[in-house]
Each structure stands twice: as C-alpha cells, then as structure tokens.
C-alpha cells in the first residue's frame, strides 16, 4: 500500500466490525493478537511493517461478506463503514444486502453505493430453521408475485391441490441462498 492510498491515522469507524487476524511481512510472522477493525484501518505500514488482514470470524455477518476474500484493506473497511451509515446502520439486513451486492452481483465493495444495494430488491427471511423459513418465504412470495393464483389456491377445497414450497423457491425465477448467522438462519431471495 503506498502513501497515497494509506488511510489517515485518525480514521475511525462508526460500527463494530469484529476482529481481524494479520500477517506482518517485516517480521515474516503472524501478528500475535487479534486486531480491531479500527486497528486495521489505522495500521501504519511504514512504521509497523507491511501487513495484510482478514476477518477472524467472530462477527458472522462480516465473515460472510468477506468469505471469498483472502485479505481486506483499510480502505475497504472504511467503505463498508460508510455504506452501513448510508443504509441506516449495522443491522444484519444491511450486511446481507451488501453481501448479495458484492458476492452474488459482483459489485466492488470500495465503490458500492446505497442506491446500488437497494436496487437489488433482495428479500430476507429469518428464523431458527431453514425448513420453516423456506416454507414461510415461499407462501409470502407466492402471494406477492402471483396474487391471482394464490387467491385461487387459498380458496380451493380440493385436497389434491398442494403448493410445493421447495419447488417454487428452487425455480429459475429466483436466486435463493441459505445463510447461517450465529443462532439464526436467513433465507436470501431475489427475483431474476
């Protein structure tokens, strides 16, 4: 990282982004303690040695967002913090929206805007088991996207008329991802 892209030592974060592990190239060894996101942002590569950082995994939403990355830069952490501010906070919904934009849609975290995140129309359903969440999401989406068919199905007295929620969600019409975050599960669904 050169001096032009290195963050100013007074850069601070508004949100808790978990801890990070690191490797210092000057000492050719792992950094012996976990660093906060603020310590990563304010790491002085000239004074402390060139280093790279990655999430330790103690913040499940950050770990999910950065799961396909070998390293995270200070500027990306600052961009994530800025984006969370623009989205209104560090809720799990915000992290999942950013995860979808970055890891599924291919957006660059450093340049991602609030509008780009919100334009994805991602719907998130929460619960304690994927089976229950998938069932509830399928019924809600069936009613939302096919209101006439849903009304007919709901009023039907035919015992043989069933709604297969797995088949509905697994159709090519939807992107679906199951995510486990600590003690809850989330189902991410976007219409294609």
Contacts by 164-169 with C-beta closer than 8 Å and gap 24+?
Answer: 165/134, 165/135, 165/137, 165/138, 165/139, 166/134, 166/138, 168/138, 168/141, 168/142, 169/134, 169/137, 169/138, 169/141
Q: Considering the chain, what is the average pLDDT of its residues?
A: 90
Model pLDDT, residue 4:
39
Confidence of residue 11 (pLDDT cuts 50, 70, 90): low
Question: Tens digit of pLDDT for each residue in 169-181?
Answer: 999 999 999 999 8
The predicted-structure confidence for 133-159, as pLDDT tens digits, reads as follows: 999 999 999 999 999 999 988 888 777
Return all residues near 8 (Cβ < 8 A) that are at least 6 apart. Answer: none
Q: Give yes or no for residue 185 having a pLDDT over 60.
A: yes
Question: The pTM is what?
Answer: 0.85
Q: What percent of the chain has pLDDT over 70?
A: 94
């Amino acid at each position: 990282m050169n001096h032009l892209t290195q963050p100013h030592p007074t850069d601070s974060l508004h949100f808790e982004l978990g801890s990070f592990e690191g490797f210092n190239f000057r000492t050719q060894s792992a950094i012996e303690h976990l660093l906060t996101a603020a310590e990563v942002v304010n790491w002085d590569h000239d004074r402390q040695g060139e280093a790279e950082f990655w999430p330790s995994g103690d913040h499940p939403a950050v770990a999910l967002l950065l799961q396909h990355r070998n390293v995270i830069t200070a500027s990306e952490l600052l961009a994530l913090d800025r984006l969370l501010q623009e989205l209104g906070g560090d809720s799990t919904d915000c992290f999942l929206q950013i995860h979808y934009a970055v890891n599924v849609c291919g957006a660059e975290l450093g340049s991602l805007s609030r509008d780009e995140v919100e334009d994805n129309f991602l719907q998130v359903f929460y619960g304690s088991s994927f089976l229950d969440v998938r069932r509830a999401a399928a019924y809600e989406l069936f009613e939302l996207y096919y209101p006439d068919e849903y009304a007919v199905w709901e009023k039907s007295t035919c015992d043989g008329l069933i709604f297969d929620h797995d088949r509905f969600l697994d159709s090519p019409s939807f992107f679906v991802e199951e995510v486990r975050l600590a003690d809850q599960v989330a189902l991410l669904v976007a219409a294609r």
